[in-house]
């Protein structure tokens, strides 16, 4: 009888397995020459953009949605001014909308795409 009770209480405690390291947005959907801007600090993205070009790439598309759009513009401007002293060209900026959510409960979110070219 006592055994049974213990067993029960163990089940009642809120045991949670140790968290797995949080997975980043799966890369599967994102083309290789793209950086997607989210809520990380500006320098995290600025470094990613830098490393991309320092590895020899000539092009990069910076994408963001919703409130992160301002952050994306900040990232591009900081990289351009501070790290590349103008040697990074903004080839094109596109704005658009995406529809999120399930049928019946959809909402629109604004998007930005900033296409960068390295000038050499």
42 binds a second copy (CB under 8 A): no
95 binds a second copy (CB under 8 A): yes
Which residue among 81, 87, 91, 100 contacts a second copy (CB under 8 A)? 81
91 binds a second copy (CB under 8 A): no
Which residue among 36, 52, 68, 79 contacts a second copy (CB under 8 A)? 68
94 binds a second copy (CB under 8 A): yes
30 binds a second copy (CB under 8 A): no
Work out whether strand 88-100 and strand 107-118 pair parallel, antiparallel, or are unpaired: antiparallel
Which residue among 49, 76, 79, 88 contacts a second copy (CB under 8 A)? 76
List b or e across 29-59, with b for residues whose CB sees 16 or more CB atoms inside 10 angstroms.
eeeeebbbbeeeeeeebbebbbebbeeeeee
Residues near a second copy, by CB under 8 A: 66-70, 73-74, 76-77, 81, 90, 93-97, 108, 110, 112, 114
């Amino acid at each position: 009888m006592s055994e049974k009770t213990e067993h029960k209480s163990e089940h009642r405690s809120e045991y949670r397995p140790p968290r797995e390291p949080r997975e980043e947005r799966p890369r599967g959907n994102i083309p290789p020459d793209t950086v997607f801007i989210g809520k990380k600090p500006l320098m995290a993205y600025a470094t990613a953009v830098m490393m991309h070009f320092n590895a020899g790439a000539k092009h990069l598309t910076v994408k963001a949605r919703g409130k992160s759009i301002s952050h994306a513009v900040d990232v591009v401007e900081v990289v351009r001014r501070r790290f590349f002293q103008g040697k990074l060209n903004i080839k094109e900026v596109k704005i658009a909308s995406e529809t999120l959510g399930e049928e019946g409960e959809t909402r629109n979110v604004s998007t930005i795409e900033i296409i960068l070219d390295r000038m050499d």
